[in-house]
A = this chain, B = another copy of it.
Amino acid sequence: MALPIFKSPFIRNIRRRPLSVIVPISVILVIYYLFFSAPSVSTKTTPKYNYNKISKGWFAKNRDSVILQNLPKNHISHYDLNKLTNSPDALAQQEEVLLLTPMSKFVPEYWNNINALTYDHSLITLGFILPRNTDGEVALKALESSIKDLQSKNKLNYKKIVILRQDSNSLESQKEQDRHALSVQKERRGMMALARNSLVFTALSPDHSWVLWLDADIVETPPTLIQDLTIHNKPVLSANVYQKFINKETNQEEIRPYDFNNWVESDEGLAIAANMADDEIIVEGYSQIATYRPLMAHFYDPNGDVSTEMPLDGVGGGAVLVKADVHRDGAMFPSFPFYHLIETEGFAKMAKRLGYEVFGLPNYLVYHYNE
């Protein structure tokens, strides 16, 4: 009641005619109670529902609109998935993007990089899944603190942020050398696959046109990353993940290939798979398994066109744009050997089995954190 407007006539009026104030305020409180009381799993009340027919216009020609009615007190939601578009001009078409990151470590450069993305943040939903271990606790605190920090500066404009804790046991250690040991790859990547599946199938909503998988250790991308990838309008499209480092001899910053999971299948790879036991997997990038697969990491041409595309058979998860319908059709990250592939590489195979094409951009670089 500190507003000047309430000062004298209003207060005096309350004293003389309390009903004239109590009634409207009660209405506010009732509305607030009806609509804003937090949904509680243990509530026994069975609310009434409004039914509004909103299906008219389904066959109108505005193909880029989603019919969506998902408000409190209107519990009947119609979604016409055909009205969702994927277009090369995603931003102009106001297409919504779900940006997904499994996070076991909070890297400030990752956070700063996504906040610098120039795609309209109000069209972006962020989704994170963090492991249930000490690393996850630390990362969660840092992530929450960074969100609050951005919010305090009035710069938090994402449509929504979803934070999940992993529902399965997580591997305790995720140190660089441990993570890359071939022997732990199968278990580690199986866990990662389950985390990715929980994340996408929990966070995916009917209004998302695109899913951008961006690993928590991708610290530098062009700020136009989403526009640059959507313009290709491919079902699955992977950027080329490199790493910056200081060459100790020259003391100069140089770049080197980092992610070897973007590859084209080879005769050798197929032959190895054909002779494997059912539950064995091929993991690319290890000398123990010589697949001779052409790796996108090696196709980078610093003088080449950044928009050059190459068809791929396997992808890494570093920076991959996926049409949401590919996931809706059921493309998931196998935690089990799927054509002797798991996780992101198995996902690429599954997308292909669902009839989608997979591509990569060898000259479009994003950079991995240098631990």
Binding site for B on A (CB under 8 A): 5-6, 9-10, 13, 17, 19-21, 23-25, 27-28, 31-32, 35-36, 38-39, 41-49, 51, 53, 55, 58, 64-66, 68-72, 75-82, 84, 94, 96, 120-122, 132, 140, 144, 147-148, 151, 154, 156-168, 193-194, 197-198, 200-202, 204-207, 325, 327-330, 332-336, 353-354
Contact = CB atoms under 8 A, between A and B. Distances in A.
Contacts of A144: 53, 55
Closest 8 CB pairs of A and B: A81-B167, A24-B24, A197-B330, A330-B332, A336-B353, A75-B160, A46-B157, A46-B122
A325 B157 CA distance: 31
A201 to B, nearest CB: 5
A306 to B, nearest CB: 29
10 contacts: A20-B20, A35-B36, A46-B120, A51-B148, A53-B148, A80-B164, A81-B166, A197-B330, A201-B328, A336-B354
B165 A81 contact: yes
B5 A9 contact: no
A189 to B, nearest CB: 13
B49 A328 contact: no
